[in-house]
Structure 1
């Protein structure tokens, strides 16, 4: 009977591979027969220097001039090789960056920063020398390996999964001008004053307080205002407060606002009387307001889903927004939204 699963001819060894047990056994026998280094190398199909190093590796040192000369042992050569392989791993640079790691852990736990924000902020402000830090990729690798004193629940962004975008559903009537009519410059994110708006709720059932959120697309400055309920009256009351705060400059700060098609924005188009333009995203198309949706996810770090917003005061919500605005952002060259927004307002008020 033929044996289809076995062969009697060993495959030819490829140059560049590490020596195995068979090669070391062949080296031992050929060396005993008096073959030269080059002759052994031709038989093994490797470099003569490889044979030289292997003979040194597997030959014990001579302790005295008495007795026989030590000979190469394949067993000893394999043992030394395996011991050296255990020591040849790339060292963990993070072990030499204890101060930086402690600072990163403190920022993540106290300010809920991401690992990338910590690295970018530290480099931008030169808080540590380059030799005392590691890059973002290394931090995430060490996090995955369990070498950081942090849990995945302290970095919720790691646990999130990307969601596939679905086709636009247009069967629901828009409450105002469509996002299709919005100027193209808004998508470029080069001009200040274009905002996205939405609401955040606590419990899905029951009428209770909610949070009106707005974010500026260039600076990522985030506004979060506690409102009595998720309805158009509460939303418009909050917008009137913003209008009173900025006065005549309201239309310069809020050039356009893009909202979803929820019932709470039923009367939102009325603010166009103040000089701003309002656009509505397509129904069930949250990806058309990506900046706002992402930052609402950040707000969930302070207000988890299912927790009533009635537990938080007006000042608590403002404090959460201030925390988010003080986080360094990679897209902003690790500057904070607060710094960029204040700089714009300074220019606006000087003008």
Structure 2
């Protein structure tokens, strides 16, 4: 037991009681000191005007909020959660640090300690050099110092000009998503690990730019146009608007559901400003190939939609005219006439169930990059729609193992 500093008038009496086998609590009560003070006496901790000095060389300064071990300064507090966090095996654990202390005190060489722990001698050398103070190496103090040093600001890979940043920038200009860019990097540079970046790193770079005043540039790079993350919410219920006899999606053949057979399409309208213009969109379920249907002027009633869809579908090869899935919008009131003209049955989704035609919903979200909400869609002619469709069909898609819809459709047509 460490006798330590003798400044307190009752400390000597306390130490005599402890030497006689009296418990810490009883001895503290007999001499009239707090149990925390008694514990400090037992462990040789010395109090100062603004902190404590521990036998392992740690100096806790409660005024500045720091812990100093020789030349090592630990920013406090280090939370218990941080100390107990399970780390990757490449980091030294507390038990390994305890063993380093024991073997080092026993006079073992750095190489011998490394062999005992399955670590390199340089790891042991760095550990002892970084965490040894005037009182030697203490594993618990070393663990706290290591935890305190671990958090640090890291410079983003995209902060400085580099081939990686140029690739990401070019992808964003082509309206690729961060996920498409990350996977394209792997395909284009399979052996170059420097050409790797996470999806989150790209998003963080974009959102940080937005906070730095580049809102306009970010809105062109992020399809939603948002400058910060937004939590997902359940869509609100809609009142059904289509009451004519329909064949519901529950009657759709299984071959359509599992996307095993090409030629089955999903469709919908994207609406322009004040509901006065629209573009019909068709997405093939197996390949995600997109076709945009021009609706002249401001008309997108049932007759205009029927005529536009018939004209478009009749231009498709016969084996790609399987079926069409649509929501319950009134623009499909002439669905029977469409089926008669094309031979394609139409299946209708349940109310408030856009996920039942998810490929088309996703595609319509992508198209809003080209045709923002609140704009006049009648300004875009057939040539404009064809150009947008070509660009969209040229994007690599995760669901297609990063092939493009155009490549998948080309393979189908070549059969």
Q: TM-score, normalised by structure 1?
A: 0.70
Q: Counterpart in 2 of 1:136?
A: 198
Query: 2:307 maps to what in 1?
Result: 237
Residues 55 and 133 (structure 1 numbering): CA distance in 2 closer, same or farther, change over 3 Å? closer
Counterpart of 2:406?
338
Q: Does the aligned pair in 2 maintain the 1:209–1:226 contact within 8 Å?
A: no
SS at match of 2:282: strand
Could you tell me whether the CA contact under 8 Å between 1:202 and 1:305 is conserved in 2?
yes
Question: Which residue in 2 is equivalent to 1:47?
Answer: 98
Q: Is the 8 A contact 1:231 1:264 kept in 2?
A: yes
For 1:304 and 1:7, the matched residues in 2 are separated by 70
Q: Any conservation in 1 of the 2:293–2:309 contact (CA below 8 Å)?
A: no
Answering whether residue 176 of structure 2 is matched by residue 101 of structure 1, we say no
Matched, 1:8 2:76: no
Note the alpha carbon deviations across 1:298-346, whole angstroms, 9 max, x for none.
1101111101112322211221111111110011011100111122122
Tell me if the contact between 2:241 and 2:328 (Cα under 8 Å) persists in the aligned partners. no
TM value normalised by structure 2: 0.60
Q: 1:107 to 1:88 in 2, by over 3 A?
A: closer
- Aligned partner of 2:54 among 22, 25, 30: 25
Which one has a bigger Cα radius of gyration? Answer: 2
Distance change in 2, residues 1:202/1:160 (3 Å): farther
Contact 1:215 1:221 in 2 (8 A): yes
Q: How does 1:17-166 map to 2 (within 5 A)?
A: 25-28=54-57, 47=98, 49-50=100-101, 57=130, 71-72=134-135, 85=149, 98-109=162-173, 111-124=174-187, 126-127=188-189, 129-137=191-199, 139-140=201-202, 142-143=204-205, 146=208, 152-153=218-219, 154-157=221-224, 159=229, 161-164=231-234
Decide which of 365, 373, 393 is 1:305's aligned counterpart: 373
Task: Return the structure number with greater relative CO, CA threshold 8 A, min gap 6.
Answer: 1
Contact conserved, 1:100 with 1:128, CA < 8 A, in 2?
no
Q: Deviation per CA, 1:237-275: give whole Å up to 9, x if none.
A: 2123224423xx33x212010011111111122232232
Gaps of 5+ in 2: 1-33, 41-50, 59-96, 105-124
**May I ask how many residue pairs the two structures share in their alignment?**
298
Name 1:260's counterpart in structure 2: 327
| 8 A Cα contact 2:242 2:333, kept in partner | no
| Aligned residues: CA RMSD | 4.1
- Stretches of structure 1 lacking an aligned partner (at least 5 in a row): 1-5, 12-21, 30-45, 61-70
Q: Is residue 239 of structure 2 the alignment partner of residue 176 of structure 1?
A: no
The alpha-carbon distance between structure 1 residues 218 and 267, as it changes in their structure 2 partners (threshold 3 A), is same
Q: CA deviation at 1:119?
A: 2.0
| Matched-pair contact (CA < 8 Å) for 1:58–1:72 | no
Cα distance in 1, alignment partners of residues 128 and 53 from structure 2: 9
